[in-house]
Amino acid sequence: MANQTTHDEHALALAIRSGAEHRPRQAHGAYFDAFGGSCALGAAYEGVYRLPEEVAGEIPHRLDRFFHCLENVSKRCPAGCHKVIPIGAMIVHLNDDHEWTREQIAAWLDGQAPNGKREAPQTTA
């Protein structure tokens, strides 16, 4: 069954884009790194809250309160592996394992294929 992108996923994509604008450098393996970068979830947190420049080692707390889809919606990995995991874990997987940009992750959350066309999200449960 194909599901449309939810409002929650769209809001999460907007938060990632906003946070990525504030911290142009992308981090891998940490929400925020010592060089001023953020991963996709760190960018989402930054999109909700304005953080000080020095936040290396900080961990976003309770992001699921803003975006219920992080824990309550599971999707198949769009990068081709066969994982089906909650969106929050998938964002970390795409950021760290497949090294997708935060912009690519936000586009995926909005139901866009890498070429910018709309695609049917593969959602389970």
pTM to 2 decimal places = 0.83
The band of 45, judged by pLDDT with boundaries at 50, 70 and 90, is very high
Token pair of 91, please? Answer: 């964002």
Pairing outcome for strands 84-86 and 74-76: antiparallel
56 found inside a domain: yes
| Region label for 99, one of left (φ > 0), alpha (ψ between -120 and 50) or beta (otherwise) | left
- The answer to whether residue 90 is domain-embedded is yes
| Residue 81 included in any domain | yes
- pLDDT value of residue 28: 97
> Residue 27's pLDDT band (boundaries 50, 70, 90)?
very high
The parent domain of residue 109 ranges over: 7-124
Q: How many domains does the chain have?
A: 1
Q: How large is the average pLDDT for residues 32-53?
A: 90
3-state SS, residue 26: strand
Q: Which residues of 90-109 are buried (b: 16+ CB within 10 A; e: fewer)?
A: bbbbbbeeeebebebbbbbb
Contact indicator for 91, 107 with CB cutoff of 8 Å: no
Query: Most confidently modeled of 2-16, 19-33, 54-68?
Result: 19-33
Digit-coded pLDDT (tens) for 80-109: 899 999 999 999 999 999 999 999 999 999
Tens digits of residue pLDDT in 48-79: 987 877 777 777 777 888 899 999 999 999 99
- With respect to residue 1, please indicate whether it lies within any of the assigned structural domains: no
Which whole number is the average pLDDT over 38-52? 90
More confident residue, 22 or 53: 22
Residue 2: inside a domain, yes or no?
no
Residue 42: name the closest of 110, 115, 25 by CA.
25
